[in-house]
Amino acid sequence: MTPDVVPLGASENPEVADARMDIELWRDREPSPRLAVVAHGRNGAAHAPHMQKLIDAYRARDYIVLSPDCCASAWNDSAGKEADFLLENHLRDVRRTVDWALANASAVGWDGTRLALCGHSMGAYAVARLAATAYVDRVAHLLLVSPFTSGRRQIEAREKYHPDGIANLRHDVPRALEEWPCHDIFTVIDRLTLPVAVFAGGKDIVAPPENVLEFVERLPLSPLYRLLPEASHCLEGGDYQIELIDAIDRLDAAVRSRLFPS
């Protein structure tokens, strides 16, 4: 099965609100009460192999899935290139996707009730930030893989684990050292009182396990936490469908127990 492609915006300038981007829409013919927005990270693509693992896990549980090709990536056809990347614009593009889903619920076969947000890396930061701000009390659950937590932590990881990491960052993403430290999930983490699942890669040197564990330990409610020992940043080392589907099942069960307490 291939997704439908939904175009948004018209501008080739990735800085503006009307920047051109695509959303991949995965749906079966039958309507569903459940929809997930699955967001890639910096320099990513909706159809990247590790993103497909997340999409497939949600589709296995009959979710309609929307996966944006966010702007400023070398790996998709939306407006902008890698050097144009700003985390604020990445957040904007994920929000545009959620807003499109809410505005077009009936057209895609969603009844508008159960909204899940899922993200990888900076996409995980984006969906967590939106769940804590723009969509407080609207999101049913969060599934976060290798989450970016703060600009400061990200830059520290580059300094610690990557030879020439800071010099390469200056070259690849010229505004990163100035803009990324403005972003910090810990400033709003106390608002994340919904069911959350978090995956970390044991070999991840981009969002290293110690950074992910700090996030897990500071959440106001204990999340489902899974460390994948063989995975690096992009879910390498395994298929992980069993683990991902189990996490979705547990999150859905947690949502049901909140809606219908015993």
Per the domain annotation, does 253 fall within a domain?
no
Give the CATH number, domain containing residue 71: 3.40.50.1820
Q: Does residue 109 fall inside a structural domain?
A: yes
Tokens of 85: 């990347």
Q: What is the pLDDT of residues 88-100, one digit of tens each?
A: 999 999 999 999 9
Task: Please report whether residue 254 resides in a domain.
Answer: no
Asked if residue 224 is part of any domain, the answer here is yes
Residue 167 lies in a domain: yes
What are the structure tokens assigned to 79, written together? Answer: 């407006």
Domain that holds residue 156: 4-247
Q: How far apart are CA 84 and CA 71, in angstroms?
A: 9
Residue 202 included in any domain: yes
Residues 6 or more apart whose CB falls under 8 angstroms from that of 254 comprise 141, 195
Q: In the predicted model, what is the mean pLDDT of the chain?
A: 96
pTM of the model: 0.97
Does residue 262 have a pLDDT over 60? Answer: no
Residues 17-72 have pLDDT tens digits of 999 999 999 998 889 999 999 999 999 999 999 999 999 999 999 999 999 999 99
3-state secondary structure the chain: CCCEEEEECCECCCCCCCECEEEEEECCCCCEEEEEEEECCCCCCCCCHHHHHHHHHHHHCCCEEEEEECCCCCCCCCCCCHHHCCHHHHHHHHHHHHHHHHHCHHHHCEEEEEEEEEEECHHHHHHHHHHHCCCCCCCCEEEEECCCCEHHHHHHHHHHHCCCHHHHHHHHCCCHHHHHHHCEHHHCHHHCCCCEEEEEECCCCCCCHHHHHHHHHHCCCCCEEEEECCCCCCCCCCCCHHHHHHHHHHHHHHHHHHHCCC
Q: Which two three-digit tokens encode residue 119?
A: 């993200």
Cβ count within 10 A of residue 113 = 12
Instruction: Establish if 161 belongs to a structural domain.
Output: yes
For the segment 193-232, what is each residue's pLDDT rounded down to a tens digit? 999 999 999 999 999 999 999 999 999 999 999 999 999 9
pLDDT in the model for residue 260: 61
Whether 1 and 47 have beta carbons less than 8 Å apart is answered as: no
- Looking at residue 1, what is its pLDDT? 78
| Type of residue numbered 88 | E
Number of domains in the chain: 1
* Nearest in space to 141 (alpha carbons), one of 71, 58, 217: 58
Crossing angle of helices 151-161 and 165-172, in 10° steps, is 130
**Amino acid letter, residue 17:** A
